[in-house]
Amino acid sequence: MPLKKIAKIVGDAQRDAALARRTSNDPEFQKKVQKDRRGTLSRYATVKAALRDRERIEKAKAKKKGTD
């Protein structure tokens, strides 16, 4: 894995952790999470990356399943 990619992942994780620490006890944030978990958490870069990876994996599985 290229060094730039690793640095970006670490930087995103640090930024997201700081944001999570600031907002975790916020009652409004908790309400938003309960109402729309995916939408609220998608403001975190690491969550966005995980969702992209999940979609990519699902597409690859569907493509593989379709060719069998």
Q: pLDDT for 17-46, tens place per residue?
A: 898 888 878 888 888 888 988 888 888 888
Structural domain for 36, as ranges: 3-67
- Quick check: 57 pLDDT over 90? yes
pTM of full prediction above 0.85: no
Q: 């994780």: which residue's tokens?
A: 13
What's the pLDDT score for residue 44? 86
Neighbouring CB atoms inside 10 A of 6's CB total 10
**Are 15 and 45 a contacting pair, CB within 8 Å?**
yes
The percent of the chain in helix, strand and coil, each rounded to the nearest 5, is 85, 0, 15
- How many structural domains are present in the chain? 1
pLDDT above 70 for 68: no
